[in-house]
Chain A
Amino acid sequence: MSGFSASALSCGRLDRCKGFPIDGVTSPRPYGAHFVNPFTDFRDSFGLKPMIALHALTASTSISEAYLPVLVMLVVAVGFAVVNLILSRVLGIRKPNDVKLEPYECGVPTIGSARTQVNVRFYLVALLFLLFDMEVIYIIAWALSVRQNAAVAGFMPFAMILMAVYMAILLVGLLYEWKKGALSWT
């Protein structure tokens, strides 16, 4: 292999793939023959053989052929719904009365309006969740990189310090949140 480590990728189909090189960051390939791209190649990094088999099945078809079943499925699904709605409208006999027009709520008489407000505290919880949730995308990228480069000299200490700093920043945020009472429901 010359120059750089070319990556064998699965971005749908092998023969249509362009190289996704990682500039300069290379691994001595501890996990088999292929260079593993942490962003795209989950198949190899988790060693999922069945996925490869599936891949082999679709490898000879073009993109539009591969998505054709999806299109057919969509058309059938939408068509089924539309045809049924039209049929019931055309064939059905309608005699509305008050009870029939009420919204159906599991057979229980309806209470109040359907448009009630969600408590504003839920928004706060959702907000905090959102922020701490997004952090995970970096952790995943980091973890895959560590897994791939574990054998490279000098990489592990660097990566670990990096993650420690990251976690420390998050910790300060959490601490602040906690002390300011954002985590308590009342």
Chain B
Amino acid sequence: MEPTFLYSLILSATLFTIGIVGVMWKRNAISLFMNVELMLNAANLAFVAFSREFGLMQGGALVLFIMTVAAAEAGVGLAIFIAIYRSRRHIRADEIDLLRG
């Protein structure tokens, strides 16, 4: 018995951590968002790994919902980024700082 399941979980955890670190470090909004997507897909991987390990099919179907939500999120996010870009000509997250206090 090979620990494929364990490998998948470790991969998922690694990807998720990379995503977190990326969100913390990156400054460009698109990169930030790409890291968030990485985190979501790492979670998807964990879902599929669990569902395969325990012989359940549900997990595979639930991942479809999460993927769709991620796509909708990308749609809304890009729209917001475009709106920001139109007024500022840049989308560097650390320079978007009108609101402070």
Chain B residue contacts of A113, Cβ below 8 A: none
B79–chain A nearest beta-carbon distance, Å: 6
A22 to B67, CA, bound (A): 21
7 contacts between A and B (CB under 8 A): A11-B52, A40-B60, A63-B2, A127-B74, A131-B72, A137-B67, A141-B64
Given A120-B85, A137-B68, also A127-B54 (CB < 8 A): no
Q: Which of A13-21, A81-89, A101-109, A153-161 is the contact stretch?
A: A13-21
Given A120-B86, A134-B67, A137-B64, also A39-B57 (CB < 8 A): yes
Chain B residue contacts of A148, Cβ below 8 A: none
Tell me whether A62 is interfacial, beta carbon within 8 Å: yes
A-contact bits for B1-25, CB 8 A (1 contact / 0 none): 0101000000000000000000000
Which residues of B34-91 are within 8 A (CB) of A? 52-58, 60-61, 64, 67-68, 71-72, 74-75, 78-79, 82, 85-86
Give the nearest-CB partner of A134 in chain B: B71
Pick the residue among B54, B61, B79 that contacts A18 (CB under 8 A): B54
Give the nearest-CB partner of A133 in chain B: B71
Tell me whether A172 is interfacial, beta carbon within 8 Å: no
Tell me whether A176 is interfacial, beta carbon within 8 Å: no
A137 to B68, CA, bound (A): 8
Where the two chains meet, the residues of A that have a C-beta atom closer than 8 Å to any C-beta of B are 11, 18-23, 37, 39-40, 62-64, 120, 123-124, 126-127, 130-131, 133-134, 137-138, 141
Where the two chains meet, the residues of B that have a C-beta atom closer than 8 Å to any C-beta of A are 2, 4, 52-58, 60-61, 64, 67-68, 71-72, 74-75, 78-79, 82, 85-86
Interface of A is mostly: helix
Is B60 touching A39 in the complex (CB atoms < 8 A)? Answer: yes
Pick the residue among A20, A123, A127, A134 that contacts B68 (CB under 8 A): A134
A184 to B72, CA, bound (A): 22
Given A11-B52, A63-B4, A138-B64, also A131-B71 (CB < 8 A): yes
The 9 closest A-B pairs by CB, nearest first: A18-B55, A134-B71, A20-B57, A19-B55, A131-B75, A127-B78, A39-B60, A134-B68, A127-B75
A170–chain B nearest beta-carbon distance, Å: 13
Of residues A20, A23, A120, A141, which shows the largest number of chain B Cβ atoms within 10 Å of its Cβ? Answer: A20
Given contacts A123-B82, A137-B64, list 18 more A-B pairs with CB under 8 A.
Answer: A18-B52, A18-B53, A18-B54, A19-B55, A20-B56, A21-B55, A23-B58, A39-B60, A62-B2, A63-B2, A63-B4, A120-B82, A130-B75, A131-B72, A133-B71, A137-B67, A138-B64, A138-B68
